[in-house]
Amino acid sequence: MSTIQLPGLLTGIDTKALIAQLMAVQRRTLNMYEARKSLWEERKNALNTLETKLSTLRSTVHALSDANELRAFATATSDEDILTAEASYNAFEGNHTVLINRLATAERWVHTTGLEYAEDYVGEGTFIYSYNHKETTIATTSTTTLEELVGLINNDADNPGITAGLLHFNDMYHLVLNGNDAGTDFEISVNASNTEVWQADSELTISSDNATLSTKIIDLDQFDDSLGTLVGDERIHITGNQHDGTAVDMYMDVTSNTKLFHVIAEINDAFGDTATATLENGKIVLTDHQSGTSQMTLTLAYDKGTGQTDLTSPTISQLTQGGTVTADLTGFAEADFTETQSAQDSEIRVDGYPTPQAGTAEVQTLTPTTPATAGTFTLTYDGQTTAAISYNATTSAIQTALEALSNVNAGEITVGGTRLDQAGATTFTFQDTAGDVNMISINSGGLTPSDPLNYVMAEQTKGDNHGWIKRSSNTVDDVIGGMTLHLHDTGTAQVTLTRDIESVKDKLSAMVDAYNAAVVYIQEKTGYNEELGTAGVLMGDYVVSTIGSQLYTPLITQTNGFIVDTDSFLMAGQIGLELDSDGLLSLDTTAFDEAIAENYLHVLAVIGANKTGSSDSNTIEFNSASSNYTTAGSYDVEVDISGGTITRAQIKLSTEAAYRDMTIDGNIVTGNSTFDDNGNPVYAENGLQLSIDTSQNGTFTATVRVKQGFTGAMEDTLDRILKVTTGSIQIDQEHAEDTIEGIQDKIDLEEYRLGLRETRLITRFAALERTLALLQNQMAALGFGTA
């Protein structure tokens, strides 16, 4: 329980004030500690602020440290309703004319008759469909409803890319199968039975991981070149049978650049349109295009020719036997569906290429099982529907009805054959330049008989237009180098690419602002303000005082790897970046524009060359360098070659005296990759790789230059300063924190001592008051102090 203190109540002496005065004298040491702590906390906060400013500078520098990414382009199109575009750094300035003949579309099939209610049972059975030649089987029960069938398709783990839905039309619910991807590679089929599939028994691998289409044959774990390299007559033998037993027998050449993509493409060429080969999780898979019993087989064998290499080809065997599962869901066979939209590729022509040429005309037929006897019908093509057509209309009248549509020009579709009220087929022949077109569909609801299954639309000949660049998407990124085209509509549009110089200026301006903000802050915190007579809180901090010089050094020195007479610009000042007498940076935009006009790519290089390289030798060539570990500069290299093998490879910086050994791996030599305890490279050539032409014997030398722009050098400097564990800012911050903790420990001890001292003083003065009060009482009792 605390004691109630009434100082001076008995004696009239203010003991609390006396104690406070005495304690104030005692607190001088504590005050000194607290002042020191406050100063160090201010220093720590200043270091934290400086760290933030340097991090901001590093971000702006990083945005400039890759010359490739600085190659920005502005794109514009003459009609954005038809076409939009975007460009990457590897594009080129210029204008292009793009003619879009057709947009890519996804395939759609609709169940023709439909059911009265979505809750109607479809019955027990098996429904088999394929998409992109990947087959799926759906099993239904006697209580499966139409809407549940939709769910079974959509929620199936093996769904290859189909979205099922329901269309409510003419008081009936129709199952709709929509392909999720556009292009002719993604076609839907409803199968009468399951389809034959063959699959490799083992994976093709690279470093034990599953190979991909981009994997080179020579990089496969299954490829053995221990006894020699490719000599030029190696082949892969592709044999087997197509669905109907037709023999497949062809060879493909193997080079150092042959990839699994090429192998898959050659297998597909060998089988034509009868089967599709794919690479799935490292395994080659061959899927028949036709369901049912099949004679399809596939064997791959490696022919080493006169060389000594070997390739262990996987054994490919039957995974699924075709025709073993029958599709028996009543009313859901292929004939019960109508293809309302075909899977089509987009078709474009760029700058008049390829030149127009005749193709294969598409032919579609309309065949009544029972000829119509009365009524009218309509035809729908590409989303537009004709006016009512009489059941006995002539073929010319049907053609006139189609040409009345806004999307059909005169002569584009020729109608022939028989009338709908006659036995036989009505034919629809498209122009040979139309290519693969959407199916025409018939609405027979006004005819007698009206059953839609009575009127069969079929594609007799698939159209193929050879005068167009075709892609399976409306996003085309592999036709114009470095440009992605987004197709929105048919028609012609101009695309213009211009250098986006302003974006580079903006990035440089952001770097200038961030640089100056850091420099001004360092000057403020390390300098002396004569007007106020105060020193900056970081004055005397060696780490901070050296940061400024570290930052401006890359701006005033020649960039590493650049040389006179070869490179147009060697340092930042030559492209308009200037430092004034106060150490502040500015961008002279006039000088920058002049430098850009002189040599655009060299400006970008001096800003952001990212460890790019070159060699003065055709035998020893630059391959790659590590952006993190290789030091930019000039290297001297020596290589000995004997019998097609590298026997010695050594390297040194041109400024060094002693050579160091390089690691040899085939025709690639790599710099010493030793790191110190802090994870920093010990040698400058760490991560540098050179490729060697081993076709000649002898000793060869080269000078290899590794270039780094001044922003890359600044970024390296900032990385060292800001490194989390060993960076100079981090070490300075930790020193400040340790100092603050040490001072706090002293403060805690001093506060504890002062607490004891104050308690003793209170106790003593309380005793003094009691003594004085007793004396006063005694004196009063003796008559002293009374009037």
DSSP string computed for 188-249 = EEEESB-EEEEEESS--EETTEEP-TT-BGGGSTTEE-TT----S--EEEEEEE-TT--EEE
Q: What is the mean pLDDT of residues 453-462?
A: 87
**DSSP code string of 576-615:** TEEE-TTS-EEE-HHHHHHHHHH-HHHHHHHHH-EEEEEE
Tell me how far apart the terminal alpha carbons of the chain are, to the nearest angstrom: 42
Give the pLDDT score at 3: 46
Q: What's the whole-model pTM score?
A: 0.66
Q: Which two tokens stand for residue 673?
A: 């990759």
Q: Say whether pLDDT at 135 is over 70.
A: yes
pLDDT of the residue at 766: 79
Give residue-wise pLDDT tens across range 238-251. Answer: 999 999 898 999 99
Q: How confident is residue 2, by pLDDT bands cut at 50, 70 and 90? A: very low
**Of 391, 335, 327, 328, which Cα lies nearest the Cα of 112?**
335
Tell whether the model's pLDDT for residue 784 goes beyond 70.
Answer: no
What is the per-residue pLDDT across 537-574, written as a single tens digit (0 to 9) for each?
999 889 898 998 899 999 999 999 998 888 999 999 99
Q: What is the DSSP string of 631-699?
A: PPEEEEEEEEEETTEEEEEEEEETT-SS-EE-EEETTEEE----B-TTS-BSSTTTT-EEEE-TTS-EE
pLDDT on residue 663: 95
Q: How many CA atoms lie within 13 A of 214 on its CB side?
A: 0
* Torsion of Cα atoms, 497 then 499 then 505 then 511, to 10°: 80
pLDDT of residue 10: 53
Say if residue 786's pLDDT is above 60: no
Q: Above 90 in pLDDT, residue 523? A: yes
pLDDT of residue 352: 93
Question: What does the alpha-carbon distance between residue 683 and residue 87 come to, in Å, rounded to a whole number?
Answer: 39
Pick from 210, 284, 184: which is nearest to 240 by CA? 284
**What is the residue whose two structure tokens read 């028989």?**
418
**For residue 289, what are the CA distances in angstroms to 162, 280, 327?**
18, 18, 16
- What is the C-alpha to C-alpha distance for residues 346 and 437, in angstroms, rounded to an integer? 11
- Token digits of residue 148: 């549940």
Other Cβ atoms less than 10 A from the Cβ of 782: the count is 9
Question: Cβ neighbours of residue 169 under 8 Å, at least 6 residues apart?
Answer: 114
pLDDT for residue 4: 43
Query: Where is 390: in which H helix or E strand?
Result: strand 389-390
Query: What is the predicted pLDDT for the residue at 639?
Result: 97
Q: Is the pLDDT of residue 11 over 60?
A: no
- Which residues lie across from 294 on neighbouring strands? none
Tokens of 543: 């780490």
Query: 466 by DSSP, 3-state: which?
Result: coil
How far is Cα 402 from Cα 387, in angstroms, rounded to an integer?
Answer: 9
Quick one: pLDDT at residue 761? 83
pLDDT digits (tens, 9 = 90+) for 240-297: 999 989 899 999 999 989 999 999 999 999 998 899 999 999 999 999 998 999 999 9
Task: Tell the residue number behind the tokens 């498209």, with chain if given.
Answer: 430
The one-letter code for the residue type at 597 is A
**How many Cα atoms are found within 13 Å in the side-chain-facing hemisphere of 414?**
11
Q: What is the 3-state secondary structure (H, E, C) of 632-647?
A: CEEEEEEEEEECCEEE
pLDDT greater at residue 407 or residue 298: 298
User: pLDDT at residue 7 above 60?
Assistant: no
* Mean pLDDT for the chain overall: 91
Determine the pLDDT at residue 437.
82
216 contacts 204 by C-beta, under 8 angstroms? no
Over residues 68-116, the pLDDT tens digits come to 888 888 999 999 999 999 998 888 889 999 999 989 999 999 999 899 9
For residue 5, pLDDT over 60 is answered with: no
Q: CA–CA separation, 474 vs 234, rounded Å?
A: 39
Mention every residue, 6+ apart, whose C-beta is less than 8 A from residue 734.
none
Q: Is 668's pLDDT higher than 80?
A: yes
User: Cα–Cα distance between 778 and 771 in angstroms, integer?
Assistant: 11
Q: How many CB atoms lie within 10 A of CB 169?
A: 12
DSSP letter at 115 equals B
- Joined together, the tokens standing for residue 772 give 């004085």
In whole angstroms, what is the distance from residue 570 CA to residue 585 CA? 18
Position 272 scores a pLDDT of 85
List, as one string, the DSSP characters of 272-316: TTSEEEEEETTEEEEEEEEESS---EEEEEEE-TTS--EE-PPPE
pLDDT of residue 462: 83
pLDDT-derived band at 8, boundaries 50, 70, 90: low
CA of 151: how far to CAs of 58, 172, 192, in Å?
53, 19, 21
Report yes or no: 506 and 514 within 8 Å, Cβ to Cβ: no
CA 256 to chain CA centroid, Å, is 28
* pLDDT tens sequence across 301-350: 999 999 999 999 999 999 999 999 999 999 999 889 988 888 889 999 99
The SS3 assignment for 762 reads helix
Is residue 724 left, alpha or beta, with left meaning phi > 0 and alpha meaning psi from -120 to 50? alpha
